[in-house]
Structure 1
Amino acid sequence: MEQSAPPRRITIVDVAEHANVSTTTVSKVLRNAYGVSPAMQAKVRKSMSDLGYRPHAAARGLRGRTYTIGLMLPDIRNPFFPEIIDGANEVLDATDYQILLGPARNVREIEHRVTEAMIDRSMDGLILIVPAATPTELEQTARAVPVVVVARHLRSTLLDTVVTDDVAGAALVVDHLADLGHRRIAHIAHAESQRHLVTTMPNTIRAEGYRQAMRARGLGDEIDVVATTYSKEGGYLGARQLLARSRRPTAIFAGADIAAMGALEAIADAGLSVPGDISVVGYDNTDFAALGGIGLTSVEQGGRQMGSDAARLLLERIDDRAKPSRLISLSPTLVVRRSSAPPPR
C-alpha cells in the first residue's frame, strides 16, 4: 500500500499570502519590530493561528536567526534572579523569542562553558546576569553575539548594561537604621577574590556604599564587614561571627535577601529575637521578604524592571548591531517592614 506524503510545513510565505501582506511584514511581526500597527499584528497572528504556522528554528538559524535568547544566571537558588527572568519574559512574550536558561553555579569555568554553548547553538543574543568574566572576555563574547549584562557595573562600547545604583541602595539601609538610633550597624558582604571583579560587582559596590554611608553619618569607627557569600549558608556564618563579637552589633545589613535568611536563622538559634534584640535588613526585596512570618525590611532594586530593560535593549541590539551602547541605572527604594526597629536600650 502506497504511503501518503507527509503534510507540507506551513511557511512564512503561506502566512503572508493568507494575511494578504508581505513576507517582510510577517517577519517584523515575528520579531516584534517597530513599524507594525497593533491591527496588523493581530491580523498576521490570526493567520498564523488559522494556518497552524510554527516557526522552524533550524531553518531560521540557517537564515541567521533562531529566535532564541540565552540567559546565564550564576545561582538558580537565589530568589532574586527569577524576578529578572520574569521581567525579560514580559517583554519577550510579545515576540517569537524564547529564553533558554544556563545556570553557572557560581563557578567561572562553568559560566564560560555555558556562554560558549549558547554561542555555538546560534542563539540570537545573550543576557548575562552578574557574569564573572573579565571585561575583555565579555567584549569578545559581544563581538560574536549581541550581549546585555545585568547587575555588573561596567561600561563598554560593545554591549549594553542594566544596573541598580548600589551605592545609593546601601545608603538607604544605613540611613534608615541610623535614623532609628542604631550605631553598631554591621554588614554581611560577599567575598570577592578575583581582582578584575572588585570595582564592578554589585556586592563590592554595596560594601563600599555601606562604608561611605557609615562615614557620612559619623559612624566610621563602627564599620564592621564580614565577607562570606550571598547564600543562606553565608548569611548564617556571617551572622554567627557578628554575634560572637564582644560588642555585638544592634543591626545587620545583609547584602542580599538570601543572606538575610541565613542571618535570621542564626539569630534565632542564638536565642535572640528580631527586631527586639537585633534588627536585620536585606537587599533585593524578593517575594519571601514580604511573607508574614518574616517581614524583612529590604532594598527594592527592581528585578523585574531590570529584566524587561535587558530584554528590550537586547532586541534593539539584535536588530541593529551598530547601535551606541547604553547603560540603564535604576534608582532603588527601601521597603520597611517589621525586621527593623530602634535598638534595645
Structure 2
Amino acid sequence: MNGQQKRATISDVAEHAGVSRAAVSKVLRGAYGVSDVMKKRVEESMEALGYRPSALARGMRGRSFTLGVFVVDLSNTFVTVLIEGIRAEAESRGYQVFIGEADMGLAQQQQMIDAMLDRKMDGLVLIAPFGPEEELERIGRSAPTVVLGRHGPGQGYDTVASDDIAGSALIVDHLVSLGHRRIAHLKHVGREKNESTMPQSVRADGYVQAMVRNGLEKEVDVIESRWNHEGGAAAVDFMLKRDTPPTAVHTGTDMAAFGVLARFFELGLPIPENFSVVGYDNARAASLPQVALTTVDQSGFEMGTLATKFLVERIEGRQEPQAALVQPTLMIRRTTGPAPDAG
C-alpha cells in the first residue's frame, strides 16, 4: 500500500471551509470582494489540509502567478528597498517575484523585458526604466505594467513615483533657511537620453523652481554628473576649482552624496563646516551615525507595495491608468549647517 498522502485540492479546501470553489479561487488571487472573514476561513482550511497551489495548474488556467521586476541598476541601495516592498506585497497575494537587471542601455532593457514576457509572467514592474514614453506604452500593450520611479500619467500603464518637485523644494528651502545662496544641484546624465518624466529631470526642474521662488534665479547651478559614488566625488573637484564655489549641494541621490562626503573627507575639509550636503532616497547607510546624511525619504517600501497593488489590479482586469505620487519627507541630520559665509 502506498503511504503517500493524497494532495489536497481546491475542492477539498472549499468543502472544508464550507464555501464555493469560486470563493477559494478569489482568495488565492487576492481578488476584490473577499471579506476578511471569508479570507480567514479559507486560509485556515488551506493550512489545516496542507494545501499548496500548483503553479503549473494555475499557469494552465491562464496565469503563472509570477511578476517580473526590471531594474536598471541593482547597485543603488534604494532599489533594494523598493524590491522589498514589491516582494512583500506580491507574496501576500500569492505571487512570486523574478528580478532582471539591464544597466547597459535601452537595447539590453528591451531584451530583458522580452525575456520576461516570453516566460509568461503575469505582469511587470519597471523601476526607473530607460526610453521614451512610446516604448513604455509598447510594453504596456504587451502585458500589465507599472512603472516605478517615472512620473505619469501613462495611457497603457500605471506609474508610482515620489513627488520629486516637492522633494527638491524641501531641500532648497532647508538650505536657504541656513543662509545658503550658492546651492548647486547634481543632475544625472547617463548612457540614454534623459526623458522629462525621469526622476533626474523632475528633481532638476524642482530645484530650479525652488531656487527661483526663493529669489535665487541668478544662482541656479545645475552640474551634469553620474548618480554614483564616482560621480559625486568628481563633482566636488569640479565645484572647488571655481573662483566662487557653491556652499551646498542637492546631490539628487544618496549614492552621489556618499561620493561627495568621501571626497571632502579625503581633502580634510569637515562637513558641514565647509560645505552642506543633501542626498535623496534615505538609503539605510544615510542614517548610520558615521554618515548622518541629511536626505529626502521617499518611503520606498510603501512605493513598492503600492506598485504591486496597482499591478495586481491590472492583471485582474482594470484598464484605467493610475498615477500616484508619494509625498517625500526631509530627514535633517548632520551634513547640513549654516552657510560658511552667512555671517
Instruction: Specify the TM-score bucket, using the shorter chain as the normaliser.
Output: over 0.9
Secondary structure (helix, strand or coil) at the match of 2:239 reads helix
Partner SS, residue 157 of structure 1:
coil
Q: 1:99 to 1:220 in 2, by over 3 A?
A: same
Structure 1 residue 324, shift from structure 2 partner: 1.1
Show the counterpart of 1:108: 106
TM-score using structure 1 length: 0.93
Which deviations, in whole Å up to 9, do the C-alpha atoms of 1:212-232 show, x marking residues without a partner? 222222222222222121111
Q: Hey, what's the Cα distance between the residues in 2 that align with 1:53 and 1:328?
A: 36
Choose which of 167, 170, 189 in structure 2 pairs with 1:169: 167
Deviation at 1:187, TM superposition (A): 1.3
Tell me the TM-score normalized by structure 2. 0.93
Contact 2:253/2:281, CA 8 A, preserved across alignment: yes
Counterpart residue number, 1:220: 217
The verdict on how the C-alpha distance between 1:339 and 1:32 changes in structure 2, with shifts beyond 3 A counting, is same
Q: Displacement, 1:93?
A: 3.4
Say if 1:188 and 1:239, in contact at 8 Å, map to a contact too.
no
Deviation string 1:247-303 (CA, Å, 9 cap, x unpaired) is 121111100011100110011111111101111000111221111111111112221
Partner of 2:320: 324
Unaligned runs of 5+ in 1: none
Alignment of 1:287-326 (within 5 A): 287-321=284-318, 323-326=319-322
1:7-26 Cα distance to aligned partner (Å, 9 max, x none): 65433223223323211111
Determine the C-alpha separation between the residues in 2 that align with 1:225 and 1:35: 50
Q: In 1, distance between residues paired with 2:35 and 2:209?
A: 50
User: 5+ residue gaps in structure 2?
Assistant: none
Cα deviation, residue 156, structure 1: 2.1
The within-5 A match list for 1:47-126 is 47-105=45-103, 107-126=105-124
User: Percentage identity across aligned positions?
Assistant: 45
Residue in 2 that maps onto 1:157: 155
SS of equivalent residue, structure 1 residue 248: coil
- Residue 163 of structure 1 aligns with an amino acid whose one-letter code is A
Write out per-residue CA displacement over residues 199-242 of structure 1, whole angstroms, 9 at most, x where no aligned residue: 11110111122122222222222222221211111111122211
- 1:250 is the counterpart of 2:247: yes
Give the equivalent residue in structure 1 for 2:340.
Answer: 344
Q: Which residue does the alignment assign to 1:282? A: 279
Q: Shift of residue 124 of structure 1? A: 1.1
Partners of 1:192 and 1:198 within 8 A in 2: no
Deviations 1:85-105 (A, max 9, x none): 222233233221121111222
- Classify 1:106/1:229 alpha carbon distance in 2 versus 1 (closer, same or farther; 3 Å): farther
Q: 246-255 or 45-54, which moves further after superposition?
A: 45-54
SS at match of 2:269: coil
Query: How far apart, CA to CA, are the structure 2 residues paired with 1:139 and 1:54?
Result: 36
Number of positions where the alignment pairs a residue of Structure 1 with one of Structure 2: 341
One-letter code of the match for 2:303? M
Q: Give, as a single letter, the amino acid of the residue that structure 1 aligns with 2:182.
A: R
Distance, in Å, in 2 between the alignment partners of 1:269 and 1:74 is 30
> Which residue of structure 2 lines up, in the alignment, with residue 127 of structure 1?
125
